[in-house]
A and B are shown apart, each in its own frame.
Chain A
Amino acid sequence: MPAKASRAAFGEALLELGATDDRIVTVDADLSKSTMTAAFARTYPDRAFNLGIAESNMLGIGAGLALTGKIPFVCSFACFVVGRFETIRISVAYTNANVKIVGTHAGIAIGEDGYSQMGLEDIACIRALPNVPVIQPADELETRQAVAWAVEHQGPVYLRLTRQSLEPVCPPGYRFRLGRWLVLRPGTDVTLIGTGGTVFNCLEAATRLAADGVSAEVVDAACIKPLDEELLLASAGKTGHVVTAEDHSIAGGLGGAVAEALAEALPTPMRRLGVQGFGESGDAKGLYAKHGLDPAGIAGGVRKLLGR
């Protein structure tokens, strides 16, 4: 499979699933060209609602639709949709409405538009809600799997998607399961956990590290909530070192979740790689280098933790 943005894979998956499941509807806020629901809207105009630039209303209408048996995919940039956190908190989560919240344009990888358009705190926010799984697929296959899973799952879901293309990382035949991670490359010295756009860079970093004799076990954590504690503890127990890499604020994201789990169950030396401070405008490559999320930066983070 060629590289593909997870938002594009999402748009295609939704279009296909919509053909056989007429409970699926889309709810947008003037970003359907960017969230990639535009094709669904063209094909099923009666099941697509573009409510203008009004994300709170979009979420509320999505919740109402869900309470009548529809399966609404409520879509915007991650920053704008999760920006309406209190509406998510009450109308979606507390109501336990079967709403699939889709936040695209995750992280600094969007580049030039700058901080105001970057989803950087969304994982932290949604993770604090008791009943909303947080899912960030790493490639096209995993995105298709996650979308199909979300349709079947009863209850709210948060899907975090990228604007940028993602190289394929999951093996053919891979199946997404809630709370299950995937070891992409076995290793013995350090557990290197990525999610979404950083997974491929973790694999690249592992190749670099291998050249220096460091064996990294690379894990794709598509499910940030709930974590795969079983896999985490088994891998951390084996390697004795954990590094997380995510295109999200260093606070409260995957790294925070992993640290919380390890601190209670198996205190393990660890290092979190993520975005420090506000994001900013720039080319994605330069930003990843600045924040240590490119292969060299991730490998550097691992070396620092291991002291070599």
Chain B
Amino acid sequence: MADARLEAIARECRVQIIRMLTHAGSGHPGGSLSVIDLLVALYFGRLRHDPKRPDWPERDRVVLSKGHAVPALYTVMAEAGYFPVEELITLRKLGSPLQGHPDRTALPGIEAATGSLGQGLSISLGLALGLRMRRSPARVYCILGDGEIQEGQVWEAAMAAPKLGLPGHGLDNLSVILDYNRIQLDGFVAKILDLEPVLAKWQAFGWTVLEIDGHDFDQVQKALDQAEATTGPVIVVAHTVKGKGVSFMENDPEWHGKAPKPAEAIRALRDILGVPEAAWSDHLARHPAQRAIVDELAALDKQ
């Protein structure tokens, strides 16, 4: 089922992801576009947080373990009010708090430094444990990449999670989401180091496993509800499309780690907004904010 509000926010975030990556001239569009719906669902549908008080001790925590997708995280944070949307285009520039990978010390609201894959689940376990020990109501959400879970440390954490927590209660304040887009850096996951049967693996380690379409807000919310009602650690395996929303990026490993050129970015925006080429100039005439972004990108081309 469609959630018009979340869909609109996600569309705006996709526009900003393309915009900021094009300005930066480098970065990771594929994994940002596959994870953005999950982040929108969290930041605009679930999180107990206060963008004006990022250090509020009882806030829910989001650990984006696949840190290279941080442009997606920056866009939801900006849309939620952590910092002005206009700062997004400082991504990866010298002196910007918007580092190429998440830097907890540079930007309030980032919970952990990630970017070296495989470390986020362990940190999330520690966060969940510490919050549980002081009986905080806060939850921890951890987002993993599918290639990322080839890292051994992920499975050390996976093995530990069901054993942690108060006696008899388990760790019931942690929800993990796997962004299962089936592509990593060098190519398709199934070709490089297949994860299958991935559900059975997590189950064997003692986890409750849910399986959803990671681009369907209704399914995401239901799964996260169910995770919250479950005792012990839960992983939501979210089937996603790498590059989702931009036709020429979808399912193409080439778009893992390169920024679009300005002309490509403008094509991408048209895809995201779902406007046919013939209707594009009319559309822009009616949407001055989008027109401004397109003009700005076109100007980059001339530089």
* Interfacial residues, chain A to chain B (CB-CB below 8 A): 28, 30-34, 38, 50-54, 56-57, 79-80, 83, 111-117, 280-283, 286-287, 290
Contacts and interface: CB of A to CB of B under 8 A. Distances in A.
Given A30-B185, A283-B94, A57 B152 contact: yes
A30 B150 contact: yes
Contacts of B94: 280-283, 286-287, 290
B152 to A, nearest CB: 6
B263 interface: no
A114 B116 contact: no
Range for the number of chain B residues in contact with chain A: 20 to 34
Contacts of A53: 117-118, 147-148, 150-151, 184-185
22 contacts: A28-B186, A30-B147, A30-B186, A38-B186, A50-B193, A51-B150, A51-B193, A53-B117, A53-B118, A54-B193, A79-B116, A113-B100, A115-B99, A115-B103, A115-B115, A116-B114, A280-B94, A280-B99, A280-B106, A281-B99, A282-B95, A283-B93
Contacts of B118: 53
Contacts of B27: 112
B92 interface: yes
Contacts of B114: 116
B114 to A, nearest CB: 7
Given A115-B99, A281-B93, 17 more contacts: A30-B147, A31-B185, A50-B192, A50-B193, A51-B150, A52-B150, A52-B189, A54-B150, A57-B152, A79-B116, A114-B115, A115-B115, A281-B99, A282-B92, A282-B95, A283-B93, A286-B94
Contacts of B186: 28, 30-33, 38, 50
B96 interface: yes
A107 to B, nearest CB: 15
A29 to B, nearest CB: 8
B67 interface: yes
Interface in B191-207: 192-193
B67 A116 contact: yes
A87 to B, nearest CB: 10
B184 A52 contact: yes
A91 B25 CA distance: 39
Contacts of A79: 116
Nearest to A286: B94
